[in-house]
Amino acid sequence: MNTIEIELRYEVLDVKALQAFVEPLELLHKKHVVDVYLDTPDASFYQKGLYLRVRNDKKFEIKFNRACLEDPTLPRQDFCEEHGFVLPLQVSDLQRLNDLLVSLSLIPIQTADLETLKTVNNLVGLYTVDKERASYQCGNFTLSVDEVAGLGSFLEIELMANSTEGIESIKQEMHCALAGLKVKPSTVGYDSLQMKKNNFQQYLRGRFVLEADKTACEG
C-alpha cells in the first residue's frame, strides 16, 4: 500500500512566537538532514515534478504526485506519494523498486545497487538541501520546525495516510492547529527554493514555481 504524505509548509515570520508555540508540545526528535537530489544533468525530473533523493546516505526516496505527472497543467497538490528504500539497497526491495521505476518510465536494475540505478538512468547529484529539523507532536499531526541552510526558517505540518480521503477536512484542521502563528504559506518545496537560489533560469523551468516569479517573468 502506498503511503500518502499530506503536508502544508509555511515560511516562519516570527521565530520567537513559534518557539513559544512549540514549547508545551511533545518533542519527537531533533536531527540534521542532508538531502541530495538526483536528476538528469538537464533537470528533466525537476521539470516534471518527480523527486529522487538520498537522505543522509541512509535512505533512497522517490516522491511525486502521480496526477501532476500525468497532467502538466494540474496545479501543485498538498499531498504526494512517498516511497523509501534503505541504503545500501536490499535485494528484498528490488522488485518493489523496479515496479516503481517502470511505472515512472525509468530503467529498472538487475542488482540492488544505487550506483547502477544512477548510471542506467543518467542521474547525478544536482542540488542539496541541508536542514536542522525539530519535530513535535501536535494533536494528530507532526509539526516540524526546519532551519534550512541558505533559505531560513520554515514550518511543516503533516499527516501520513493511506489515502487522500477527507483531505480538505484534514487541511482545515491543520490550518486551525496553527492559528495565531505568524507564518506565510509556501507553495513550493525546499528543493525548488534551493534551485531558485542556485540556478534561477533552471528553477523557472520547474514543474512548480512561485506564482510571483511566474508573473514577474511574464511581465
Check the CA dihedral 195-36-47-84 and report its sign.
Answer: negative
Domain ranges of the chain: 3-218
Over residues 175-208, the pLDDT tens digits come to 999 999 999 999 899 999 999 998 999 999 999 8
- In this prediction, what percent of the chain has a pLDDT beyond 70? 97
- In this prediction, what percent of the chain has a pLDDT beyond 90? 79
Cα(156)–Cα(188) distance, integer angstroms: 12
Over residues 25-77, the pLDDT tens digits come to 999 999 999 999 999 999 999 999 999 999 999 999 999 999 899 998 888 77
Count CB-CB contacts under 10 A for residue 87.
Answer: 14
Cα(81)–Cα(171) distance, integer angstroms: 17
By the 8 A CB rule, do 51 and 36 touch? Answer: no
Residue 113 pLDDT > 70: yes
By the 8 A CB rule, do 60 and 89 touch? Answer: yes
The CATH architecture one would assign to domain 3-218 is Beta Barrel (2.40)
Give the predicted TM-score (pTM) of the model: 0.87
pLDDT at residue number 216? 64
Strand pairing report for 3-12 and 152-161: antiparallel
H or E element that contains 196: helix 190-198
Residues 6+ apart with CB under 8 A from 176: none
Over residues 115-145, the pLDDT tens digits come to 999 999 999 999 999 999 999 999 999 999 9
Over residues 153-172, the pLDDT tens digits come to 999 999 988 888 899 999 99
pLDDT at residue number 217? 64
